[in-house]
Amino acid sequence: MPDRGERVMIGREDRGIPPKRQTVNPIRLEVIAPTFEGLGICTSCELVLAEAGVGTSPATRALEEYPQEWQDDYRRLTDWVYDLASHYGDRLLIKVIDPQSPEGLLKSLRYRIRRYPTFVIDCKRKVVGWQREQLEVMLNLALLDGSECNGGEHGTLAE
C-alpha cells in the first residue's frame, strides 16, 4: 500500500495515456492496370515549367496523348481508387502497378492476368474488369477474414 497519499498506477489510463488502439493490418489491394507516360523534355525542366504555369502539367499532357477511350478508363480507375481510399481509409493499402513494369509483368504472370484492370486482394482474391460490386464484396470478405499476404507466400486466388 502506498503511504502519504501516493497513488498506485496500474494501467495506461491511470497515467493519463489513452489506451492503445488495437491495430488491424490493412488489406492489401494491388491494382494492376496500365498507367500512362508521355514523352517530353527532361524531368527537371518539366517541373520548372509546370510550377511556372507554362503549358499543361506533365501528367495531363501524357494522358492527352492517348485515345479518348483510354483516357476515360484511366479517369474511371483513378476515381475508383480515390473512392476506395476514402471509404476504407486506413483499413486498405492500395498499390497501383503498371503491367509493363518489371513488377507488373511478374504479377501478371503470377496471377495469370490477361485483362486490365485487375484487382488482387491480399494475394488471395482477384477481380477482373470493371465489376465494382464484386470488388467491394471481396474487400469486405477480406476485412472479415483478417488474413493477409505473408511475404512471398501466396494462397490460391479465388475469382
Mean pLDDT along residues 66-94: 93
Helix (H, G, I), strand (E, B) or coil at 77: helix
Is the pTM higher than 0.75? The answer reads no
Mean pLDDT along residues 63-75: 87
Between residues 102 and 36, the one the model is more confident about: 102
State the Cα–Cα distance between residues 28 and 138, nearest whole angstrom: 12
Set out the domains of the chain in order of their start, with CATH numbers: 25-40+68-145 (3.40.30.10)
Q: What is the pLDDT of residue 56?
A: 67
Q: What is the pLDDT of residue 6?
A: 45
